[in-house]
Each structure stands twice: as structure tokens, then as C-alpha cells.
Amino acid sequence: MTTAKDLFTIATGPGAKNSVGQGDLSLALAGAELIDLIGAEAVTVDGDRIVPGMTPAPDDRLMGEAVAALVRQEPYERVEDWLWRRGRDLSAAYQAALEEDGELTPKRGGRLSFGPERVEAADTPARRRAAERWEEREPVLVALASAVGIEGDDADEEPGFDDEAVTTVVAIVHDAVMELEAVRQRRSIENAAFANVWRGP
């Protein structure tokens, strides 16, 4: 599987102690796609701009969609803009793809049979490979998981990357997730203030 699919698997696995927000995960998935495209030499990162290459589209359907979504006109797209554009509803797209492939199975939370439906990774070779990457503390997977609040045993350690482009993408993913959280907090404050106005003194 791809880094994005491995990340989704880790995020829905038993090791994820905290629930991961769909928006946060979507941003990280877009970053994971971009890092895999860098590794495949399908793109390079010039400063903070994504420069497409001429590599054929990958076999993976979602990665093929990512390649098709690249902006191929100068001055090219900034990494941050890619995360927000490509990341829109991306976690839902990965959930649907993994369910279709039999990599995810429904799981109902709580003791009520009509409780909210969740998913968990099925026991497949792909899930085991994702678990192995996580246990081996593969730097990219650890860094992206950390960005969405999934902490490992060595959460205080900063993983290092050999590729400057990967370092750039991971840093921008962290910034985007923090920006999304700031937006949530601002909306929460505004909604609380609005409710107080209607309640009156």
C-alpha cells in the first residue's frame, strides 16, 4: 500500500488512542500522497512549489488521481495550497477505497447495536505491513501520524529525513493542521458568544 493508506490504517487501528479528526487526517493524507510522489520522482519541490515530472501515473487509483490533480502550469502550486485543495474530503475517499478493497471492516461503537458506525483495519497483509512500518518507527509515517495527534512510544523524538523536500512537506502538514485547529477554536468561541447573545442577561 501507499504511505497514505498506511497512515489511514494506523489512524483507524487500536494503537490510535485518540480519535483523529477527518479534516486533520485529510490534510495529512494529502501530504503522504505528495511524499510518495516525491519518492517516485513524479514531482519535485522547489522552495514551497510542487513541480510535476514526467513519470507515468502509478497503479494505485487514488495516487493516480493525485497525479492527475497536479497543477502543471507555472508558477506551479504551493504545497500548502495542495494540502487544502487535494485534502478536501480525502479521508472519506480513502475510507471508501479501503472498504472496497476489503482492507476495512465496519465496527460499531458502544453496546447499542444502532450506535454510530466506525471502521477498523481488517487483518490483511497490507494492515500487517502498515503495522510493521509503525513498529519500526518509519520516520515519514511517524511524523504524519504525530501531526494528527497519534503518538508513539517515542513521541518526544523528532524523526529526521534525508530529503529536504520531505522535510518541507511534513513541516507544512503540521502548520496546516494547527491552522485548522485554530479555525475550529475561533468558530467555537464565536458560536458560544452568539448563543450568549440569544440567551440574554
Higher pLDDT, 54 or 35: 35
Q: Which of the four pLDDT bands, split at 50, 70 and 90, describes residue 21?
A: confident
Domain with 130 in it: 3-199
Q: Which of the four pLDDT bands, split at 50, 70 and 90, describes residue 122?
A: confident
Does residue 192 have a pLDDT over 80?
no
Does residue 156 have a pLDDT over 60?
no
Mean pLDDT calculated for residue range 185-200: 69
Mean pLDDT calculated for residue range 142-148: 93
Q: Which of the four pLDDT bands, split at 50, 70 and 90, describes residue 42?
A: very high
Closest CA to 49 of 67, 75, 87, 22: 75
Burial class (CB in 10 A: 0-12, 13-18, 19+), 161: middle
Give how many domains the chain has, as a whole number.
Answer: 1
Does residue 56 have a pLDDT over 90?
no
Higher pLDDT, 59 or 140: 140
| CA–CA distance, 201 with 193 (Å, rounded to integer) | 12
The model's pTM is 0.86
DSSP E strand boundaries for the chain? 43-46, 49-52, 77-78, 104-108, 117-121
Higher pLDDT, 181 or 85: 85
60-114 per-position pLDDT tens digit: 999 999 999 999 999 999 999 999 999 999 999 999 999 999 988 877 554 443 3
Cα-Cα-Cα-Cα dihedral sign, residues 92, 97, 103, 104: positive
Mean pLDDT calculated for residue range 38-64: 91
Determine contact, residues 105/120, Cβ cutoff 8 Å.
Answer: yes
Higher pLDDT, 87 or 12: 87
pLDDT at 109: 55
pLDDT at 152: 61
